[in-house]
Amino acid sequence: MDIIDLHMHTFFSDGVLSPSELVYRYKHRGAAAVALTDHADYSNMEFIITSIRKATASLKKFYELEVLAGVELTYIPPDDMHNMVAKARKTGAEIVVVHGESPVEVVPAGTNMAAVRAGCDILAHPGHITDETARIAAEKGVFLELTTRNGHRDTNKEVYEAAVRNAAGLVLNTDSHAPSDLLDEEKVMSVLEQCGAGAEYRSILTENSKKLLKKISERKND
Total domains in the chain come to 1
User: How large is the average pLDDT for residues 191-204?
Assistant: 94
| Residue 30 lies in domain | 4-221
The mean per-residue pLDDT over the stretch 186-199 comes to 95
The stretch 193-215 carries a mean pLDDT of 95
| Per-residue confidence band for 2, with pLDDT thresholds at 50, 70 and 90 | confident
Give the mean pLDDT of 93-122: 97
> Taking residues 103-112, what's their average pLDDT?
96
How does pLDDT run across 165-190, given as a tens digit for each residue? 999 999 999 999 999 999 999 999 99
- Residue 1 pLDDT greater than 80, yes or no: no
Report the pLDDT value the prediction gives residue 18, as an integer from 0 to 100: 97
Average pLDDT, the chain: 96
* Average confidence (pLDDT) over 193-216: 95
Residues 19-29: pLDDT tens digits?
A: 999 999 999 99
pTM of the model: 0.97
The mean pLDDT value for 32-55 works out to 97
Write the CATH number for 171: 3.20.20.140
Which 3-state string (H, E, C) describes the chain?
CCCEECCECCCCCCCCCCHHHHHHHHHHCCCCEEEEEEEECCCCHHHHHHHHHHHHHHHHHHCCCEEEEEEEECCCCHHHHHHHHHHHHHHCCCEEEEECCCCCCCCCCCHHHHHHHHCCCEEECCCCCCHHHHHHHHHHCCEEEEECCCCHHHHHHHHHHHHHHHCCCEEEECCECCHHHCCCHHHHHHHHHHHCCCCCHHHHHHHHHHHHHHHHHHHHHC
